[in-house]
């Protein structure tokens, strides 16, 4: 059996001004080498959960442990092991693509040579080598998404968190991003992924957790979940488990 990399036990989150909990006793494990998907309707708690796992948000109660060879990692060790690609672009628009990578690489204590070598490879893989010295504000949405991915993996994280990594991109950028994610996963990077693109999740993920109203309501291999609920696809499964009412105002 694969080793546990992250273990979450009875995780709860209540924002100071909120009346209800955003997460209510969430428990699951993520295993080394898998692509683990977290899906659910708007307001289900996906981004809150990802933000807690990345140490961006504190949690109210519960346990979150990261492991390396059965040893629990400290917060500082976790920061060096993870990468995070947020839904909102984390880029400096008045800097060039390379300057952005330089900045984020320096945050992870990479040397100038490491940044230069790593960025060169990544720019080529994601089709930005000819524009690496142009300012980000001149980029298309798809180019910014690909650069957003680059700055999140420049330090070669062992665990990569992705929150809607292909939102608003063209088909070519989406294909490039997904191909890149499959490639780094095959080379050993564990991926935790959330998206509203359920067809994408179905192609990419090994296991998924479905979250609604702050609770995990289903968790298994995709094939097992679909067979168990007699569903043809994740979209049908999600609608069956969470209902068809609108969630825009959640």
**pLDDT in single tens digits along all 250 residues of the chain:** 579 999 999 999 999 989 999 999 999 999 999 999 999 998 899 999 999 999 999 999 999 999 988 899 998 899 889 999 988 899 999 999 999 999 999 999 999 999 999 999 999 999 999 999 999 999 999 999 999 999 999 999 999 999 988 888 889 989 999 999 999 999 999 999 998 889 999 999 999 999 999 999 999 999 999 999 999 999 999 999 988 776 565 4
Neighbours of 200 (CB within 10 A): 18
CA 184 to chain centre: 13
Q: Rounded to 5 degrees, what angle do the CA atoms 147, 75, 20 make?
A: 85
Task: For 169-179, write each residue's pLDDT tens digit.
Answer: 889 989 999 99
Order of strands, edge to edge, in the sheet holding 215-221?
A: 82-85, 159-163, 190-194, 35-39, 207-212, 215-221
- pTM of model > 0.85: yes
Query: Is CATH 3.40.50.300 what the domain over 4-242 is classified as, yes or no?
Result: yes
Residue 197's pLDDT is 87
Residue 246's pLDDT is 61
Using the Cα atoms of residue 25, residue 13, residue 235 and residue 192 in order, give the sign of their dihedral: negative
Task: For 40-70, write each residue's pLDDT tens digit.
Answer: 998 899 999 999 999 999 999 999 999 988 8
DSSP codes, 126-177? TT-GGGTTSBGGGS-HHHHHHHHHHHHHTT--SEEEEESTTTT--HHHHHHH
Structure tokens at 160: 């990569």
> Alpha-carbon Rg of the chain, whole angstroms?
18
**Paired strand residues for 28:** 8
Structure tokens at 157: 């994280």
Nearest to 22 by CA among 6, 40, 7, 35: 40
H and E: helices and strands count for the chain: 9, 10
Residue 247's pLDDT is 58
Residue 127's pLDDT is 95
What lies within 8 Å, CB to CB, of 195 at 6+ separation is 37, 39, 162, 164, 165, 166, 167, 201
Coil, strand or helix at 87 = coil
């Amino acid at each position: 059996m694969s080793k546990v990399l992250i273990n979450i036990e009875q995780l709860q989150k209540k924002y100071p001004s909120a009346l209800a909990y955003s997460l209510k006793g969430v428990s699951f494990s993520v295993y080394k080498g898998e692509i683990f998907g977290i899906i659910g309707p708007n307001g289900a708690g996906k981004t809150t959960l990802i933000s807690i796992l990345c140490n961006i948000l504190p949690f109210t109660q519960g346990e979150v442990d990261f492991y390396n060879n059965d040893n629990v990692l400290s917060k500082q060790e976790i920061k060096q092991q993870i990468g995070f690609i947020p839904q909102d672009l984390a880029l400096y628009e008045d800097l060039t693509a390379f300057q952005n990578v330089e900045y984020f690489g320096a945050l992870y204590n990479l040397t100038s040579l490491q940044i230069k070598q790593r960025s060169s490879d990544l720019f080529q893989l994601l089709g930005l080598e000819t524009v690496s010295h142009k300012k980000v504000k001149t980029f298309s949405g798809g180019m910014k998404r690909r650069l957003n991915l680059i700055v999140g993996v420049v330090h070669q994280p062992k665990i990569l968190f992705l929150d809607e990594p292909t939102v608003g991109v063209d088909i070519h950028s989406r294909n490039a991003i997904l191909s890149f994610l499959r490639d780094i996963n095959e080379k050993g990077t564990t991926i935790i992924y959330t998206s509203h693109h359920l067809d994408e999740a179905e192609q990419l993920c090994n296991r998924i957790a479905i979250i609604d109203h702050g609770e995990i309501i289903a968790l298994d291999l995709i094939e097992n979940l679909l067979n168990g609920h007699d569903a043809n696809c994740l979209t049908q499964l999600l609608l069956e488990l969470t209902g068809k009412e609108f969630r825009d105002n959640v």
